[in-house]
Chain A
Amino acid sequence: MRTVVVMVMLVFLPFVTPAYAKTAHYEAVVAEPFLELHTGPGRGFPVFHVVDRGQHIEVLKRRTDWFQVQTDRGVRGWVKLAEMRATLDTAGSATKIDDPDVDDYKARRWEAGVGLGDLDGASVISVYTGYHLTRNLSVEARVGDVSGDFSDGWLATVDIVHQPFPAWRISPFAMLGTGIIQINPKATLVSTEDRTDQVGHVGLGARLYVTKRFMFRAEYSSYLTFTSRDDNEELDEWKAGFTFFF
């Protein structure tokens, strides 16, 4: 029941955000001989209208690299990023548009992502978020959902991550962290107790900048579980996933 309520709330969340005054749309002036309007925001959508040089357009919204514009005659269509950049604002300066690129990647502060992998034979799915204190050093917090043949559980860690070459498109990193792991043996097996233990881990990995705000990330971690039993346990984790930065 609770899940249903959460899901319903998730669906309606965007509709209940507080209303704010709609600001006037950005107005641009066509500076090239003409501006092409496409029927949709993507490759292949045909050009159905052209706006001549000197005419004004209103920019209504953006979807990925496409802009929905409206001419002063009320015709609506989609313009691609490169052509939008070639327009001027009403004061005559070139239209400036945010487009995250490799420079933003190098100067990023926040990142968040998901990973998928193997923790000593069990599957693990994890989400994490990280904050860059400097270009080299960041702190990260992650939660992983572990499911194996004999047991399932979760783990949560806090890490310090160091990347020696932040400007590289493929940037290797090393990490060091600590956290807790909980393992619940499966009910179909002989009943055993759930265990919650502290873990410490070291890891190596690399991020690969792909495009826009998007990166791939792969990593290996070695966990040491501090159990209350006689021996500490060692676990290996291999993981790959994708990340967005902000």
Chain B
Amino acid sequence: MESRIHLLLLRAAALSLLLAATAGCSLLGRSREPAEDANASSPVIDPRIERREVSPPKIDSEDFEVTGYYGMLSVEDFGTNSVIGARLAYHITEGLFAEATLAQTGDVDQTSAEILGNYDLSFGSDRKYKYYDLSLGYNLLPGEVFIGRNHAFNSAFYVLAGAGNTTFHNEDMFTLSFGGGYRILLTDAIGLHFDVRDHLFDDDISGEDKTTHNIEFTLGLSWFF
């Protein structure tokens, strides 16, 4: 019994000695740390970071399209005449686009009254039909066409409506225009256009006021830039 108590005391003494030694070690360690900090050459986090300039990359955007076209314009009472023109379009979204057009015909044909009566309507010097218009269009049916087994071309059927002005027989007439067209992209930047448009305006050349329909068929070549 006595020896057991003796052993317990001995163990307790050894344990306390061990604890004291560990504590002493850790104390020593702690007291050495500040000396190491003072010698350190670089801090762990450097707050002086160069700010990176993030600007949007320069990506070539091709939202404008310029078109040259040639076709036939049926000028009411004045026969069907060749027409040449240019268009500039801005594509706002994949569907919507705005377009400005400028065109003119050659000298318009004679009316049947002129031919049968053998006289010239007083036109001043100019028998040309000129017009401009500003339109909004929408790519209604986008798609692809396949030519042969290996070729696919992007295409779209579009509709548009606009307003402008027609200069004919030395008068300016406010003109509404409606139409549709079909665009096939031969490459990513070059397009082929087939267009049908109706230009409506009120004219009094025949002696009475009437609304004339002037229907135009054209073939155009366009370039995106």
Contacts and interface: CB of A to CB of B under 8 A. Distances in A.
Contacts of B96: 214
A10 interface: yes
A54 to B, nearest CB: 19
B200 interface: no
A55 B170 CA distance: 64
A145 B165 contact: yes
Describe A's contact surface by its main secondary structure.
mixed
A64 to B, nearest CB: 5
B144 interface: yes
B56 interface: yes
B102 A125 contact: no
Given A45-B142, A59-B59, A125-B174, A64 B91 contact: yes
A137 B70 CA distance: 45
Contacts of A60: 60
Interface residues of B, number: 54
Interface of B: 52, 54-63, 66-68, 84-86, 88, 90-96, 98, 102-104, 130, 134, 136, 139, 142-144, 152, 154, 156, 163-165, 170-174, 188, 202, 204, 209, 223-225
Given A26-B58, A96-B56, A244-B98, 8 more contacts: A7-B103, A40-B154, A42-B95, A44-B142, A59-B57, A61-B188, A63-B63, A149-B209
23 contacts: A4-B104, A7-B104, A8-B68, A11-B66, A23-B58, A26-B59, A40-B154, A42-B95, A44-B143, A59-B59, A61-B60, A61-B188, A62-B63, A63-B224, A64-B63, A64-B94, A65-B94, A68-B188, A93-B52, A93-B54, A125-B165, A125-B174, A149-B209
